[in-house]
Amino acid sequence: MNKTIRRASVFALLLVFALLLRATWVQFYEGRALADDKGNRRNAIQTYAEPLGNIVVGGKAVTGSVATAGGDLRYKRTYTDGALYAAVTGYASQAYAPTQLEGIYADVLNGTDPRLKTVLDTVTNRRADPGDVITTIDPRVQKAGYDALGGKKGAAVAIDPKTGQILAVVSTPSYDPSSLTDADTAGPAWKKLTSDPDKPLVNRALRQPLAPGSTFKLVVAAAALEDGLYKSVDVRTDSEDPYTLPGTRTPLKNENASAPCTDATIRVALQYSCNNVFAHMAVQLGQDKLKAMADRFGFDDDRLDVPVRAYTSVYPSGMDESSTALTGIGQFDVTATPLQMAMVSAAIANDGKLVSPHMVAQVTDGGGNVLKDYDDDASGTRIISSSTAGQLRSAMQTVVEKGTGTNALIDGVTVGGKTGTAQNGENNSKAPYAWFTSYGTSDSSDKQVAVAVVVEQSNAARSEVSGNGLAAPVAKAMMEAALKK
């Protein structure tokens, strides 16, 4: 064979070999990445080729699917009471990535989860029937919180202390997920929602930590009792009023100048929300002990999945004594979500044991068979002693019965709570946050509920912003819905 022809043949074979290698690489190595690419429309076509499974609240589906008018996306998602449950469901959109439970359980809801396949599905390569997500949400508690918050900007969470089941996740202002489901109309709705200064897409209940104010005093009191700094909530503390922040000439005053806060007991200090008592107590304990106690309650946990990943609530470190004093009243760099503050009350109500909070009870296949049960373990972890929990419950009851939280009183229910008003903005230039964290126990049964509420903004005058005035009535409505059925 001619040398030139032989060389050309070898070169051509090398080109063919390189082409085969590249094709193999793309097909078997890069194929999955291409298949998963957000710009690959085949994924949307496959997802919406059939009706999706449903998210269930109180035994009824709050989601659905409806046939589209045309095009290659045959079905789209629908929502019942979409704005009421948006903080739970999130949205499944033909145009945008799914969020909340819609995103976490997308494979179950669209039938691509391997656990859903039957033997026949495997043989025929047919997509399995979709599964369902059964939530722990109580529709009465959810609606009570949503209605009570009304036009206010805020959030609320309710938990069953004994089981860890989340009974309500409310975030206002809300939005209707149905506005985002159709690819042809989602764009304008998305632009409107993302440009809204009130940020309705933000899940304030789980994913917006704010300064908790005086509700954090419960954590400080727990640390003081567990450490033995004070043996009882009825032992007088060493607390001058006003308290001068260490290393400064700045006096820390109390909201109520006539309150009996000098050397007040923990019970009285919680009743009147005495800043001087808890600021000094924080310094006496030191930031390490306070952080250790806060972390027991769930602060600084960056993997709190319910199953939606909650933003981390923070107790800071590396502070001087004056800053440590401010953390004792829930200020400086302390932040918490309503979920976190509901966990504090839940652990106190549950005799010192914290059960992992969760808002999904079960995941089932198309036939109703359970694939995953999240209610299996309700044993909880002891974070404070039974004695400490009992004393704090008693002191919290005093807050509601004759202290700063009287708006949460409920006939036939033993209620304990703690109010909070947290500074907002540089030099407290913006309206304060109004907090209330609480628990309720039915006097006629063993039912319990823990609730935390924050009102970020309302139409109330600045002088009228308080945990008792704005947040406690919301908590009361939710506790009544949970316990007085």
DSSP for 63-90 reads: EEEEE-SSSS--EEEEESSHHHHHHHH-
pLDDT attached to residue 32 = 52
pLDDT attached to residue 252 = 96
pLDDT attached to residue 181 = 96
CB 384 within 8 A of CB 226: yes
Nearest to 306 by CA among 92, 158, 448, 153: 158
DSSP state letter for 467: I
- Each domain of the chain, given as residue ranges in start order, spans 207-359+377-483
pLDDT attached to residue 300 = 97
Residue 352 corresponds to which tokens in the numbers above?
């010192």
Residues with active-site annotation: 214
pLDDT attached to residue 34 = 46
Which of 2.60.120.560, 3.40.50.2300, 3.40.250.10, 3.40.710.10 would CATH assign to domain 207-359+377-483? 3.40.710.10
pLDDT attached to residue 430 = 76
Residue 212 corresponds to which tokens in the numbers above?
């908790």
CB 274 within 8 A of CB 395: no
From residue 374, alpha-carbon distances to 17, 25, 355, 370, 484 in Å are 53, 41, 12, 10, 26
Beta strands 243-244; 251-252: pairing state? antiparallel
pLDDT attached to residue 70 = 76
Q: Which helix (H) or strand (E) holds 454?
A: strand 448-457
**CA trace torsion 292, 293, 294, 297 (10° rounding):** 120
pLDDT attached to residue 15 = 76
Residue 409 corresponds to which tokens in the numbers above?
């009183």
pLDDT in tens, the chain (485 residues): 577 777 777 777 777 777 777 766 666 565 555 445 555 567 778 888 899 999 999 999 999 999 998 778 899 999 999 999 999 999 999 999 999 999 999 999 999 999 988 877 777 778 889 999 999 999 999 999 999 999 899 999 999 999 999 999 999 999 999 999 999 999 999 999 999 999 999 999 999 999 999 999 999 999 999 999 999 999 999 999 999 999 999 999 999 999 999 999 999 999 999 999 999 999 999 999 999 999 999 999 999 999 999 999 999 999 999 999 999 999 999 999 999 999 999 999 999 999 999 999 999 999 999 999 998 877 899 999 999 999 999 999 999 999 999 999 999 999 999 999 987 766 666 788 999 999 999 999 989 999 999 999 877 776 678 999 999 999 999 999 999 86
